[in-house]
């Protein structure tokens, strides 16, 4: 069983989660990076993305030098942007063929998950399992124990569950 973490993070909540998963299980990890960096002005990004996300906006991203066939499962970690995946993750999902793959989606958010997991499933045609919504408040997980528990069981033998 080989797993790959693919993630995007704008204000580093998602990056912190990825670091914890990686520290524990040492999975290969790739970061989605936009060709043009987002502004440091958080409110400006929130306001412009409010218009762009409903238009299925796909900002240009750097190519990912990854052979997805090497991996059985992809742990996809994204912030929630306007009730869906962050726009750079939207580009990723449109660019790479993940049909029939298994995705474990993690969506960090402020409490409004919206259609995020359904959109990942519908866009990719992948099998979705162990999905995890993680709420943050001022850069901190609101329920860290939920995440620790999820992490503890990430490699449980599913045939015995
Ligand atoms: C453009 C933008 C849109 C957002 N939209 C939502 C949303 O619809 N629902 C929600 O719960 N949080 C929303 N948030 C908050 C983020 O999902 C949350 O802070 C997330 O953990 C940020 O991850 P990051 O630090 O890895 O970028 C939004 C943040 C940004 C920047």
Residues 6+ apart with CB under 8 A from 134: 13, 17, 106, 107, 108, 109, 141, 143, 146, 147
Closest to 71 (Cα-Cα) out of 157, 158, 5, 152:
5
Q: Checking DSSP bridges between strand 102-109 and strand 73-81, what pairing results, if any?
A: parallel
The ligand 1 atom at the shortest distance from the C-alpha of residue 82 is 8
Give nearest CA residue, ligand 1 atom 23. Answer: 79
Q: What is the pLDDT of residue 159?
A: 55
| Cα 27 to Cα 6: distance, rounded to the nearest angstrom | 10
Tokens 């063929």 -> residue: 97
Q: Is 111 in the pocket of ligand 1 (CB under 6 A)?
A: yes
The pLDDT score that the predictor gives to residue 88 is: 98
Looking at ligand 1, which atom is closest to the CA of residue 134? Answer: 21
Tell me how far the alpha carbon of residue 84 lies from the centroid of ligand 1, in angstroms.
9
Distance 81 CA to ligand 1 centre (A): 5
Q: How many CB atoms lie within 10 A of CB 135?
A: 18
* The predicted structure's pLDDT at residue 114: 97
Decide: 92 in ligand 1 pocket, CB within 6 A.
no
- Residues 75, 21 contacting (CB under 8 angstroms): yes
Residue 1's pLDDT is what?
Answer: 84
CB 10 within 8 A of CB 77: no
Mean pLDDT by 10 residues, the chain (161 residues): 96 98 98 98 98 98 94 97 98 96 97 98 95 97 97 81 49
* pLDDT for residue 58: 98
Structural domains for the chain: 3-160 (3.40.50.360)
Best of 81, 106, 142, 147 for a ligand 1 pocket test (most atoms within 8 Å of beta carbon)? 81
- Least Cα distance to 122 among 98, 156, 158 occurs for 98
Query: In this predicted structure, what is the pLDDT of residue 125?
Result: 95
Alpha-helix residue ranges (DSSP H) falling in the chain: 13-25, 42-52, 87-95, 116-124, 144-152
Q: For residues 68 and 4, is the Cβ–Cβ distance under 8 A?
A: yes
| Nearest CA, atom 16, ligand 1 | 109
């Amino acid at each position: 069983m080989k797993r790959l973490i693919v993630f995007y993070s704008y204000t580093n909540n998602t990056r912190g989660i990825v670091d914890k998963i990686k520290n524990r299980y040492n999975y290969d990890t790739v970061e989605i990076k936009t060709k043009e960096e987002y502004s440091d002005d958080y409110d400006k990004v929130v306001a412009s993305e409010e218009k762009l996300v409903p238009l299925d906006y796909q900002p240009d991203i750097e190519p990912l030098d990854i052979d997805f066939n090497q991996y059985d499962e992809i742990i996809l970690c994204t912030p929630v942007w306007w009730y869906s995946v962050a726009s750079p993750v939207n580009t990723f999902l449109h660019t790479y063929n993940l049909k029939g793959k298994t995705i474990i989606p993690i969506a960090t958010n402020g409490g409004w998950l919206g259609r995020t997991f359904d959109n990942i499933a519908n866009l990719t045609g992948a099998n979705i399992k162990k999905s995890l919504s993680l709420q943050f408040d001022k850069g901190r997980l609101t329920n860290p124990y939920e995440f620790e528990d999820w992490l503890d069981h990430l490699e449980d033998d599913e045939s015995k569950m």
